[in-house]
Structure 1
Amino acid sequence: MAPLSLSLSLSLLLLPLLFLLTPSPAAARFTCNAKSRATTCQALISYTPPPNATTTLRDVRTLFQLRSHRALLAANALPLTTPQTAPSPSPIRVRLPCLCSGGAGATFQRPTYTVRAGDTLDAVARGAFAGLVTYRDIAAANNVSDPNRVAVGQDLWVPLPCSCDPVGGVGVVHLAYVVPAGSSVAGIAEEHGTTEQTLLQLNRLPDAKSLLAGQVLDVPLRVCSSAISSTAVDSNLRVPNASYILTANNCIMCGCSSNTWQLDCQPTQGLTSAVCPVAKCGDLFLGNTSVTTSPASPCEGTACLYAGYTNTTSFAILTNLTSSSMCDAAGLSPAAQPSHSSASGLGLPALWSWSELVVGIHIVLLCLGFLHRD
């Protein structure tokens, strides 16, 4: 924690001079048209740690007051064995609760910041929170009349922009993203799996040329579909690509991969049955599939899918036995594939797919043929 604190202290001393020369970006307000008076969801923040600082995962967790180290790992698809002392990725995604009210969204109650000697709201906004928020936002949220005069030791709520709205009628996870210098709308759209038009409309940009470095964009991330029941406690579970989430009292790990866009839920490894009940569909364990080997229907199979959990009378994990096509997009049968697919970035060993193996064998045979002919 000491290297980050020292870096932040030096940055906050120098930042006021830079701010006199650098115009402050306009406040970012993400549209959130809640149907009820107040609606909450889970949103993501893309945070870039201070340059030239050794920022650890623990530092990030402390800054944003995250209750769980595992949640930070999950949002960034890091293995659960990753220690808190590991260096933070840059940027790093932080999952926070979002509250929608009055047509706009802001992170709910967190994060907070304790004012230090020499702090101004502009220095806190740009220095500590990397431009994700403006001093105007912090001042308005905390009823501060003079942004240059805040009391040392005062706790400030830092309302980071977020949203819970569907996009195009489809549920998404909204990412608050600070535009790096040299970026383009097309590049940001391609990187995050969305379209230029969606970004322009969502952020009320007249055209792609109006994009500014340092601007905070609302970037919608596609999520995987699931078989979770609408009556389950985690019925609103939304997991974007290249990440996972722990649910059902951490007993279930659900990952999302762009290969299938289907939520892949497995029992969390390392937890005993004394803590987590066994999740099965009859004789089939959660996350496994049973493939039909009949030549007439080689692609038909059944899968034991996660359907949520309940806490009404007792803790129970729900499952759903589902029949579906088990072939990939090329129509190949998964006879030689693993019994379940692993979520991207979970630290599991990568295996060759059946199609890759077939292509490799053909290449070897062709090479042998040419050698024999010579």
Structure 2
Amino acid sequence: MGYAKVLLGVVLVTALAATSTAQTKLNKGATCPALIDYVSLNNTNITAIQSLFQVKKFRNLLGANNLPTSTPSDKNVNATEKIRIPFTCMCTNGTGVSNRKPVYKVQKDDFMYHIAKEVFSGLLTFQQIADVNGVPDPNQINPGQELWIPLPCSCDIVNGIKVVHNGILVDKGSTVEGIAKQYGTNLTTLLTLNNMTDPSKLQAGQVLDIPLPVIGIKLMLKCLFVPCSSNVNSSSLDYPFLLANGTYVYTAYNCVKLQCEPSGLKSTNSDWTTCPAMQCQGADSLFIGNKTSSGCNQTSCVYSGFTSKSILTSLVTESICPAPSAAWKIGFQGLGWNFFLFISIQLILFLSLHLS
């Protein structure tokens, strides 16, 4: 009888827990990498965009857009073309804005609405610019005056998982459902992140917060375009490491390109005449980004961080053979938790009748 009661409790708690929805939590007082889409009203080039948003390194802009490292600095950008801007987000008191950059110098005949709506393509309002800069009258700005442009962003943890937040400009005719499908998320998550209750209220030109999956953060996740993994540990100088899938960055003094290979660039560390070896110990032929297979096991040499003296690597082995019951698992998952809950209730009724 005692055993039956314990079993009933375990089954009931498990069933109820399975139906709960994970909540979005705010990481307050933090900074994090963020992205935002920009669409210039006029034809321009990628260097002009880098200058406007004060992206420190040209290759950071290339990486955010997954453009080849050979991309010329005068590459044309059409007026309708979206360029993803990488920047640092500062989150305090439940809101996030870009961390004191970019700064815009007012030009002759500029006015605040023009700066917000046309120069920065409606990514924020003129009143937001006025508020953070302490400008009492948005109509009273002077040539040469410097204005901090507070790009909207977030450092929220979404459903218990760290993400890179990407602000997008909503196109005419878009729907929340369609955007969720495009970016691999769901309707509920997008509505929660953007404080929306009615998806039909979505408007063209609105900035929508999109959570992008990341690699790194001590998680074993596959890079999207290159067959490798990242397992950055807490001793690394680039920890914590957040990188959105579909982008790349240079790290380890420019010696490593993630995703996920030696960069081929000259090291920026004056103590390194050449980049250190990126070979995994215990695997003579494996370097960062390499893998080997034996039967059902695949072993990869992965980037694990760097110190002032060396680049850290580790070996990761995973099974590449399908699980014996994969088809059954897929079928079960397709039934969803409602089926699980139904079975659990039936089991509870059975135990109550036969074990009491």
Instruction: Letter of the 1:105 partner, please give it.
Output: G
Say which of 33, 38, 42 aligns to 2:26: 33
Cα displacement (A) at 1:182 = 1.3
Instruction: Letter of the 1:190 partner, please give it.
Output: K
Cα displacement (A) at 1:274 = 3.0
Matches within 5 A, 1:154-165: 154-165=145-156
Q: Would the aligned equivalents of 1:32 and 1:164 in 2 still touch at CA under 8 Å?
A: no
Partner of 1:289: 291
Residue 280 in structure 1 maps to residue 279 in structure 2: yes
Secondary structure at the residue paired with 2:118?
Answer: helix
C-alpha distance in structure 2 between counterparts of 1:248 and 1:327, whole Å: 34
Cα displacement (A) at 1:270 = 4.4
Partner of 2:330: none
Cα displacement (A) at 1:150 = 0.5
Residue 267 in structure 1 maps to residue 256 in structure 2: no
Cα displacement (A) at 1:132 = 0.4
Partner of 1:322: 316
Say which of 89, 107, 121 aligns to 2:98: 107
Q: Would the aligned equivalents of 2:152 and 2:167 in 1 still touch at CA under 8 Å?
A: yes
Cα deviations by residue, 1:22-64 (Å, 9 ceiling, x for unpaired): xxxxxxxxx98334xx3111000100111xx321110110100
Partner of 2:341: none
Cα displacement (A) at 1:168 = 0.4
Residue 67 in structure 1 maps to residue 56 in structure 2: yes
Q: Alignment identity in percent? A: 42
Secondary structure at the residue paired with 1:125?
Answer: helix
Q: Would the aligned equivalents of 1:32 and 1:101 in 2 still touch at CA under 8 Å?
A: no
Cα deviations by residue, 1:262-299 (Å, 9 ceiling, x for unpaired): xxx2111344783311111122211111221xxxxx12
Residue 303 in structure 1 maps to residue 300 in structure 2: yes
Partner of 2:332: none
Cα displacement (A) at 1:330 = 12
Partner of 1:342: none
Cα displacement (A) at 1:95 = 0.5
C-alpha distance in structure 2 between counterparts of 1:134 and 1:329, whole Å: 52
C-alpha distance in structure 2 between counterparts of 1:181 and 1:132, whole Å: 15
Partner of 1:248: 252
TM-score under structure 1 length normalisation: 0.71
Residue 152 in structure 1 maps to residue 143 in structure 2: yes
Partner of 1:42: 33
C-alpha distance in structure 2 between counterparts of 1:207 and 1:196, whole Å: 11
C-alpha distance in structure 1 between counterparts of 2:306 and 2:89, whole Å: 22
Instruction: Letter of the 1:236 partner, please give it.
Output: P
Say which of 240, 246, 262 aligns to 1:236: 240
C-alpha distance in structure 1 between counterparts of 2:73 and 2:322, whole Å: 38
Q: Would the aligned equivalents of 2:40 and 2:121 in 1 still touch at CA under 8 Å?
A: yes
Residue 227 in structure 1 maps to residue 231 in structure 2: yes
Q: Would the aligned equivalents of 2:25 and 2:157 in 1 still touch at CA under 8 Å?
A: no
Q: Would the aligned equivalents of 2:237 and 2:305 in 1 still touch at CA under 8 Å?
A: yes
Cα displacement (A) at 1:197 = 1.3
C-alpha distance in structure 2 between counterparts of 1:275 and 1:46, whole Å: 36
Residue 183 in structure 1 maps to residue 174 in structure 2: yes
Which sits farther off after the overlay, 241-250 or 125-134?
241-250
**RMSD across aligned C-alpha pairs, in angstroms?**
2.1
Partner of 2:338: none
Secondary structure at the residue paired with 2:161?
Answer: coil
TM-score under structure 2 length normalisation: 0.74
C-alpha distance in structure 2 between counterparts of 1:137 and 1:32, whole Å: 24
C-alpha distance in structure 2 between counterparts of 1:78 and 1:118, whole Å: 35
C-alpha distance in structure 1 between counterparts of 2:100 and 2:322, whole Å: 44
Cα pair distance change 1:179/1:231, threshold 3 Å:
same
Secondary structure at the residue paired with 2:44?
Answer: coil
Cα displacement (A) at 1:79 = 0.5
C-alpha distance in structure 1 between counterparts of 2:129 and 2:31, whole Å: 20
Partner of 1:6: none
Q: Would the aligned equivalents of 2:31 and 2:88 in 1 still touch at CA under 8 Å?
A: yes
Instruction: Letter of the 2:296 partner, please give it.
Output: C
Q: Would the aligned equivalents of 1:304 and 1:321 in 2 still touch at CA under 8 Å?
A: yes
Cα pair distance change 1:330/1:269, threshold 3 Å:
farther
Where in structure 1 are there 5+ consecutive unaligned residues? 1-30, 256-264, 293-297, 332-374
C-alpha distance in structure 2 between counterparts of 1:326 and 1:119, whole Å: 59
Cα pair distance change 1:330/1:45, threshold 3 Å:
farther
C-alpha distance in structure 2 between counterparts of 1:105 and 1:42, whole Å: 11
Q: Would the aligned equivalents of 2:255 and 2:265 in 1 still touch at CA under 8 Å?
A: no
Instruction: Letter of the 1:288 partner, please give it.
Output: N
Cα pair distance change 1:83/1:228, threshold 3 Å:
same
